[in-house]
Chain A
C-alpha cells in the first residue's frame, strides 16, 4: 500500500534524552514535513524538506533536528534542548500541494 508510515505510535522520553521519530513514505513525493500539534490547537510547522540533502526551518524549529539522506525518509530528532516536547507529531509529504499525512507519534515525558 502507498502511504506515509510514522513510528513509533507512542514514545516516552526521559529528561536530558534525545529521541528520534521515524517517517517513511513510498509515494515518490519530493517534499516532506514535520508538524507539532498541542492539545486543542492546530498544527505548527517544525521543519520541511523540498529535496534530498536539503531542509529548512519552520516556525518552531528550536530544539529539533532533521536529516534527509533519502527521498523516502525524513526522521525528526527531539533533542534535550526542547524543554516542552510533550505533543502529537505529524509527518506529511507532497509534490507541492496537497499534503498527505501519516498517523502521528505521541511523545510524552517520563
Chain B
C-alpha cells in the first residue's frame, strides 16, 4: 500500500518565523489533504490539494503530483499554529493514508 512520510517530525519556531512542512508519497495519489490537529485533538481541514497550489491567509500548500510530494507553508507563525500537522492521501476517492505528522511548537 501507499506509504506517507512527513518531515520534519518535530519543529520549534519563534513567533513570526516562516516554515515549510513536507509530505512524500511512495506512489501516486489522486486525493490529498492537509490537517491541523490542535491540543484538544480536533482535526481541522486545511487544504484539499491533489495538485497545484492553494492559499488561505498565512497558510499555503503546493502539491506536485508527478513527483509525489506536497508542501505546506506557514508564514508569520503564531502561537495558535502549534499542534500536529498531518498530510493524508490515497489512490481512491474513499481512502486516506495518514503520515505520522509534524509536531510544531511556536514560542512567543
Contacts and interface: CB of A to CB of B under 8 A. Distances in A.
A59 B38 CA distance: 25
A96 B96 CA distance: 11
Nearest to A37: B41
Contacts, number: 55
A99 interface: yes
User: In the complex, which range does the number of interface residues on chain B fall in?
Assistant: 20 to 34
Interface residues of A, number: 23
A99 B96 contact: yes
Interface of B: 1, 4, 31, 33, 35, 40-43, 45, 48, 50, 86, 88, 93-101
Interface of A: 31, 35, 40-45, 48, 50, 58-59, 88, 90, 96-101, 103-104, 106
